[in-house]
Amino acid sequence: METLKIDCGLREYRVNGKGILRLNPTDPNVYTRFEEMMETLPNMAEQVGSVKELDQRLKAALNQVFPGNDFDKLLGGVSLLAVCANGQKVLDNLLEALAAVMEQGMEEYAQLLAQQVHGQ
């Protein structure tokens, strides 16, 4: 059998020196899923009965946004609701880091589109 190797633009980010997060930050579909997830997060706590269930739902939402990743494993089983040394929840720190990656990716995507429009 022959093999096709296709560059899908995946990048790898080592999370806390442990797991590898794989995503294409220039993929508009990933960006859209990320934005949709961000809109649903504030209401998620009202829809669950326990902190454990909320953590599971939050990680499931992240796994849907970034397919092929397992945020429970990436974070070593730590709850997204745990408080960090900076006083923020793990979720807040994670979303801040991911938002920066996604923002940079969308800037790269916009630059690529502009170059294509101008025939470069």
Task: Pick 16 or 78 by higher pLDDT.
Answer: 78
Query: In the prediction, which pLDDT does 17 show?
Result: 85
Question: What are the tokens at 28?
Answer: 């508009």
Query: In the prediction, which pLDDT does 108 show?
Result: 93
Alpha carbon distances (Å) from 63 to 6, 53, 58, 116, 120:
23, 15, 9, 32, 36
Nearest in space to 22 (alpha carbons), one of 9, 12, 37: 12
Percent of the chain with pLDDT strictly greater than 90: 82
Q: d(Cα 100, Cα 4) in Å, to the nearest integer?
A: 32
Q: Provide the b/e sequence for 60-74 (b: ≥16 CB within 10 Å).
A: ebbeebbeebebbeb
CB neighbours of 89 closer than 8 A, spacing ≥ 6?
80, 81, 82, 83
What are the tens digits of pLDDT across the range 23-53? 999 999 999 999 999 999 989 988 888 999 9
What are the tens digits of pLDDT across the range 61-104? 999 999 999 999 999 999 999 999 999 999 999 999 999 999 99
pTM of the model: 0.87
Query: In the prediction, which pLDDT does 56 show?
Result: 95
What are the tens digits of pLDDT across the range 53-64? 999 999 999 999
Range 37-46, long-range pairs (CB < 8 A, 24+ positions): 37/61, 37/62, 37/64, 37/65, 38/95
